[in-house]
Chain A
């Protein structure tokens, strides 16, 4: 047996299911007697429904119900129920239209084909008002967002004095477009009522307990009467963090028909109904003195939100803590638009905020005649400049060194526009990344069965990050069991509550909970053994006992062993189990906790045609202890691919007149394909961090995206001398630049 399991690059425990088709996603749960629901969307961006004609749909073959605001059951909990980290949903409660594609009806039929066609027969008349769909069309209305702790305008030091003291200054405006998550699995919900007061939801979500809380509140049910199940999630990236309208509508449709209802939203609907990263307009002003020290940073971000809900793309947070600069002012402003509410998108805030900050830093380096990497090193923040606290651990300088060596940074010419291969202009760029790491409370249950195998359970989710696998590893080490003797279960609100799979904090939150529950189970087994006259370990002190290969053993005499199976069998109980709640680690308050890293890019740009190809990306990342280098590397690689998409491809476009989404599918909303992605290099920089939690883990799922877009944009500048400040970097911009 390989010990320890933690740190070993073992294959995913759910790998076999995923390569054989055996992994079952929400819409694939086979429920007998299921019916199909299809949403009808609004065709105006703002106004009211005057009349909605459902007669043809009602009469169509196989149609069981057409639910609209005229006949939907009313639930007082649906409206006016905005909670933090949640989204206001539209549940057919009134005739108001807030954005294009807003659900205005749900059609339920006995087959999918019939439901789809009937949905196309529903028509509506509206009183329409002109919508606004672009931040820049209404910049004048931008207002400073009020956080619960005050306005989102934060001043450190004296910006004006800092700028005055600068030898070199740059000022520039950066724009990032609306991005849409587009996980491969569209959101889907199967709703099954058991009587009037019990509801089961098979739902593609990153947060089963959020769904339970929200749905039980909206529907007026006891939370424990709503069960949410999902064993596999086909990607989330933030857009499955909160239940959107369709989850409620599936439940309503199931209620209306008295049947189990499956509602899988379509790819076009995914462009409007399940959140997006808002467009941002970011103004940066930076100053540096003659010694290469930053004297001032001003970062002003305007982003969009909906008329009825608030979401802030917190771009400026990274600016407050990434560099040691005494004078920093950041402002977050919002513009309300007639659009659906934006939401968290992989590395929310950091991702696009870092593009602006790290591009501006590059501009400053060239303006001041400094090496871009050297400028970053000189301004390394040895402690958190915002809070003054020490970092629990930080290995950014080592990341710089190792990644710079790997890509050959020092060998590149400092001059721009000097490298070429035929028609290709070649360039190098760098971008730093960071992301704060949180730990949330979590619970877990560990059960030892009479056969000596363990079931470990927590109501977390595996959205592809490897939760099944790393939790099995954590449990295996704590219980001294091989991987094959542990089954880790998740994705069910019948299990102990664990936090959402968002914010890169699953490993750092549910991981410690699983560890602690398993340690407690082991302690319980030891107590059972030493107190049992029939045990070979009877009478020993608990700390004289070790665990090894499915058994407890006496440290002093390793031949004295008591297998778990025997301990459970003698207990005359069906199993021995422990459920435990774990709070955030006690040390955390004294430290700032964040992962850090850097990405270097080598790109080539076709000088005539403006096509950009990423030749190489090298990233070095430090995020505490790495539970499984195989799954961790995959996660980091994936984040870098997201960075490529953000840099070169992704932009959702609304019609300039109507605010209706124009990029309605995956042919128009480009995400990177195989051909866009070269071999990528991930360097894992090891950290021992005793302060973050029991298992020394920080989050890493979102660490590798910020920095990439800037590194690529900076490399494009190095190659061509053209500075693109408006993502994505497409051929049209380069040939016109």
Chain B
């Protein structure tokens, strides 16, 4: 671990000021940052400890819900308002990581969770995300865990979060505070595709602090499900995951939400698949059509072509469970 300046700020304003320096990082739960600092994959010159900040609320916001950025994953997953109104989020959180990590990791930190690409984590090999311009070791390497959607010639690293897949499906809004202003960033705009700059992963500016997220009222609570396929029954990253919600009236699907994890470089909203469901009767046939529409122009590599079929089947399973037919 590289030496760093440690700042425990008095308040958010002090935190933002301290994080304005180039090379500074916020410290939330530490489950990504400390992990990657110990590998020297991340080498912040300063870390600004957010634990003193009062950002741990879970409260109603109009018809929706406001969740503070420093709320722990386990607290969100078990909160009655979340369980009742956003079961998708609770399910996704509980499939993620371990109880210990869920007790540490925060909502804000999880938004910025970094990839598990093994080449990203190994300083001895090239990685555009870790060392821009050095090349991508994964593309022609061992790619079983890598993305088939949203990739570029620079990077095929999978976004690892479960929480973010649910938030993508739930149309969450990320609220931030920077040096000069506050912003509300729609979830789909929060994470960026790797393109030529895989080192950039979000729309945040240096020193900009995530204060909370807001979830709009959801008509999907009655028919929502998160399915995660993985190599072991717990404590594993997704080979493929799907967060889905159905709004059904009079035997027809009024609206649908489908987001994918484990297969894309960012939390992946499958808008084409959602459209394919609107107006259809829920059932295996419509679900399979939607799944077929979900995977647009995949780019499989040496070891991950199975994810095309697996992602589709995962969507079908999630829709069936959401509808209560599986």
Please give me the residue from chain A that is nearest to B237 by CB atom: A667
A657 with B1: in contact, given A609-B229, A668-B118, A735-B313 (CB under 8 Å)?
Answer: no
Cross-chain contact B316 with A608 (CB below 8 angstroms): yes
Please give me the residue from chain A that is nearest to B229 by CB atom: A609
Cross-chain contact A731 with B310 (CB below 8 angstroms): yes
Query: Could you tell me the distance in whole angstroms from the C-beta of A43 to the nearest C-beta in chain B?
Result: 4
Cross-chain contact B141 with A609 (CB below 8 angstroms): no
B 138-151 binary contact with A (CB < 8 Å = 1; else 0): 00111011000000
What number of A residues sit within 8 Å (CB to CB) of B? Answer: 39
A292 on the B face (CB < 8 A)? no
Interface residues of B in 1-28 (CB under 8 A from A): 1-3
A170 on the B face (CB < 8 A)? no
B249 on the A face (CB < 8 A)? no
Please give me the residue from chain B that is nearest to A614 by CB atom: B233
Q: Which residues of A contact B137 (CB under 8 A)?
A: 655
Cross-chain contact B314 with A609 (CB below 8 angstroms): yes
Cross-chain contact B317 with A608 (CB below 8 angstroms): yes
What number of B residues sit within 8 Å (CB to CB) of A? Answer: 39
Cross-chain contact A735 with B306 (CB below 8 angstroms): yes
Cross-chain contact B309 with A735 (CB below 8 angstroms): yes
Cross-chain contact B1 with A656 (CB below 8 angstroms): no
Q: Which of A100, A116, A611, A660 contacts B1 (CB under 8 A)?
A: A116
Query: Could you tell me the distance in whole angstroms from the C-beta of B171 to the nearest C-beta in chain A?
Result: 27
Cross-chain contact B232 with A609 (CB below 8 angstroms): no
Interface residues of A in 107-155 (CB under 8 A from B): 113, 116-117, 120
Cross-chain contact A422 with B2 (CB below 8 angstroms): no
Interface residues of B in 116-134 (CB under 8 A from A): 116, 118-119, 121-125
Q: Which secondary structure characterizes the binding site on chain B? A: loop
Q: Which residues of A contact B119 (CB under 8 A)?
A: 662
Complex: how many Å from CA A100 to CA B1? 22
B231 on the A face (CB < 8 A)? yes
Q: Which secondary structure characterizes the binding site on chain A? A: loop
Cross-chain contact A117 with B1 (CB below 8 angstroms): yes
Q: Which residues of A contact B121 (CB under 8 A)?
A: 664-665
B272 on the A face (CB < 8 A)? no
A675 on the B face (CB < 8 A)? yes
A3 on the B face (CB < 8 A)? no
Q: Which residues of B contact A668 (CB under 8 A)?
A: 116, 118, 145
Complex: how many Å from CA A611 to CA B313? 12
A452 on the B face (CB < 8 A)? no
A396 on the B face (CB < 8 A)? no
List 9 additional A-B contacts (Cβ < 8 Å) besides A658-B125, A675-B235: A423-B326, A609-B310, A610-B229, A656-B142, A660-B124, A662-B119, A662-B142, A673-B234, A674-B234
- Residues of chain A at the chain B interface (Cβ within 8 Å): 41, 43, 100, 113, 116-117, 120, 422-423, 608-611, 613, 648-649, 653, 655-658, 660, 662-665, 667-668, 670, 672-676, 730-732, 735-736
Can you list 19 A-B contacts (CB < 8 A)?
A41-B124, A117-B1, A423-B317, A609-B229, A609-B317, A610-B310, A611-B230, A660-B125, A662-B118, A662-B141, A664-B121, A668-B116, A668-B118, A673-B232, A731-B306, A732-B144, A732-B239, A735-B306, A735-B310
Q: Which 9 A-B pairs have the closest CB atoms?
A: A675-B234, A675-B233, A43-B124, A732-B306, A608-B313, A662-B142, A662-B118, A676-B233, A673-B235
- Residues of chain B at the chain A interface (Cβ within 8 Å): 1-3, 38, 40, 116, 118-119, 121-125, 137, 140-142, 144-145, 227, 229-237, 239, 302, 306, 309-310, 313-314, 316-317, 326
